[in-house]
A = this chain, B = another copy of it.
Amino acid sequence: MKVLETGRGELFLRPDPAADREWLRRNKSWALKNKVMDEKEAIEKFVHDGDYLGTELYGTVRCPMSLAREIIRQGKKNLRVAGQGIMEIEVLIAAGLVSKLDLTYLGYEVLGLSYVLRRAAESGQLKIVEWSNAALAWRLKAAALGVPFLPVKSMLGSDTFNYSAAKVVECPFTGEKLCLLPATMLDVGLIHVHRCDVYGNAQLDGISGFAFELARASRRLILSTEEIISTDEIRKYPDRTIIPYYLVDAVVEAPFGSHPGEMYYLYWRDEEHLRQYLEASREPQTTEEYLRKYVYGVKNNAEYLELIGGEEKLNYIRSLAKGR
């Protein structure tokens, strides 16, 4: 099973399950501690300059936007990022906070390309290593398993592999070629959930994306949540707990925290605001103006929600959400 090929991409974070074990033992707690705090406190405490950061989910869906805005307000610099979220990652890049990106996809699907990514990549300002969507999810899964890599059959033969930090080996059981994906244990993960208790026991509705894996592949984990529920409710439906409390460091109550993205069953994405943002993102100056108004210009999520249209807008996007 010797290594046949290695992608030329930089491995931003060398897999090291042994170090992770020691770190998690020292820093994670099984204590039932109330972890509720606001965005400001959570980001101050748990996000640091230079951190390797990851978010969930994808596109404009269930994105931890209120946390991303607070990171920008606090100007956390030099971030390395796992680029499988989309909108919340893009605004961090737009604010000039990201130096290195493990990228899968950054764009708006049918709404088009990301101007922010184009500028950052074409200027050479952003160092990018390539992966596929599944590869990044599997890298988190490897970390969640507590092992240094996972073998897969994707990425092989492509430039996506050549510009990644994966390896090709020969399988000792079958002789076939396998792509080995290095595990990614994030310094900090951000996930927006439907509900959780004060300890961080969290439930999600609908597809779970890669929340399960990312929660288990984060040294520090910040949850933002539409709603805080009682622990009795958690204990009644323990089979609904996707993220258990001992993985969680902070619980931030953030209703409409995914705005302008959508939140399954609760509210639909705010097309009007999203298009306004995308239009602004065409040029550096208008991007800056957008950030000045909607990010730097507000103190917290409540002020932001007021600014984007308050109750009227929130009721409107709520009314567009489909039930089950």
A236 touches B324 (CB 8 A): yes
- Quick check: is A24 within 8 A (CB to CB) of the other chain? no
A239 touches B1 (CB 8 A): no
A180 touches B172 (CB 8 A): yes
B151 touches A149 (CB 8 A): yes
B151 touches A146 (CB 8 A): no
Per-position binary interface string of chain A over residues 1-33, scored 1 when its CB falls under 8 Å from any chain B CB and 0 otherwise? 111000000000011111000000000000000
B174 touches A239 (CB 8 A): no
B239 touches A208 (CB 8 A): yes
Known: A1-B3, A173-B183. 20 other contacts (CB 8 A): A1-B2, A2-B2, A14-B173, A17-B153, A17-B174, A18-B174, A18-B176, A146-B153, A147-B151, A147-B152, A148-B151, A148-B174, A149-B172, A149-B173, A150-B151, A167-B172, A205-B239, A206-B239, A208-B239, A237-B324
Per-position binary interface string of chain A over residues 229-272, scored 1 when its CB falls under 8 Å from any chain B CB and 0 otherwise? 00000001111000000000000000000000000000000000
- Quick check: is A321 within 8 A (CB to CB) of the other chain? no
Interface size in chain A (residues, C-beta < 8 A): 38
Residues of chain B contacted by A176 (CB below 8 angstroms): 17-18, 148
Residues of chain B contacted by A15 (CB below 8 angstroms): 173-174
Residues of chain B contacted by A324 (CB below 8 angstroms): 236-237
B1 touches A169 (CB 8 A): yes
Residues of chain B contacted by A1 (CB below 8 angstroms): 1-3, 169
- Quick check: is A85 within 8 A (CB to CB) of the other chain? no
B173 touches A172 (CB 8 A): no
**Closest residue of B by beta carbon distance from A242:** B239
Offer 13 A-B interface pairs, CB within 8 angstroms, sorted by A: A1-B3, A1-B169, A2-B2, A16-B174, A145-B152, A147-B151, A148-B173, A149-B151, A167-B172, A172-B180, A173-B180, A205-B239, A206-B239
- Quick check: is A54 within 8 A (CB to CB) of the other chain? no
Q: How far does the Cβ of A53 sit from chain B's closest Cβ, in whole Å?
A: 21
Q: How far does the Cβ of A7 sit from chain B's closest Cβ, in whole Å?
A: 12
Binding site for B on A (CB under 8 A): 1-3, 14-18, 145-153, 167, 169, 171-174, 176, 178, 180, 182-183, 204-208, 236-239, 324
CA distance A205 to B172 in the complex (A): 38
For A2, A16, A172, A180, the residue with the greatest tally of chain B CB atoms inside 10 Å of its CB is: A172
Q: Kindly list the 6 A-B residue pairs having the minimum CB-CB distance in the complex, ordered from nearest.
A: A1-B1, A148-B173, A148-B174, A236-B324, A147-B151, A3-B172
CA distance A294 to B35 in the complex (A): 55
CA distance A37 to B178 in the complex (A): 40
CA distance A182 to B172 in the complex (A): 10
Q: How far does the Cβ of A58 sit from chain B's closest Cβ, in whole Å?
A: 17
Residues of chain B contacted by A3 (CB below 8 angstroms): 1, 172
Residues of chain B contacted by A238 (CB below 8 angstroms): 206
Residues of chain B contacted by A205 (CB below 8 angstroms): 239
- Which residue of B147, B174, B236 is within 8 Å of A150 (Cβ)? B147
Residues of chain B contacted by A206 (CB below 8 angstroms): 238-239
Q: How far does the Cβ of A195 sit from chain B's closest Cβ, in whole Å?
A: 14
